Amino acid sequence: GAGVSQTPSNKVTEKGKYVELRCDPISGHTALYWYRQSLGQGPEFLIYFQGTGAADDSGLPNDRFFAVRPEGSVSTLKIQRTERGDSAVYLCASSLTPARSQAFFGQGTRLTVV
């Protein structure tokens, strides 16, 4: 695609529910990143994929968070048993290679847990 696409743009869910956030990277980009941006903060790294595998998941806050990229393209961030503290904008970025290439960001999914 022309850019990184994230769906949905906004998501409201009830505490305790399960949510999935989708990221469509730029075609051909092998590296994909998830960030979380809480209100008034800069984005914080969650996880990075190189191809289908999670190369670095050190930023995932706990085991309620999980992400997949089964075919090396689209990625889904999954959050179980959502909590109000999970409310944030979740940003996805992709780059042609893991290093020495610019990352392009999507417009994010604003998740609100009520």
**Using CB under 8 A as the criterion, which residues of the chain lie in contact with other proteins when the complex forms?**
31, 33, 35, 40-45, 48, 56, 89, 91, 93, 95, 98-100, 102-103, 105-108, 110
Give me the least distance between CB of 105 and other proteins, in Å please. 4
**∠ CA(84), CA(85), CA(88), 5° rounding?**
100
Q: Residue 4: which residues within 8 A CB-CB, separation 6 or more?
A: 23, 24, 25, 26, 92, 93, 94, 104, 105, 106
Give me the least distance between CB of 42 and other proteins, in Å please. 3
Q: Which is nearer to other proteins, 36 or 86 (CB)?
A: 36
Give me the least distance between CB of 27 and other proteins, in Å please. 17
Q: Which is nearer to other proteins, 9 or 52 (CB)?
A: 9
Q: Which is nearer to other proteins, 68 or 103 (CB)?
A: 103
User: Nearest to residue 107, comparing CAs of 1, 6, 37, 21?
Assistant: 6
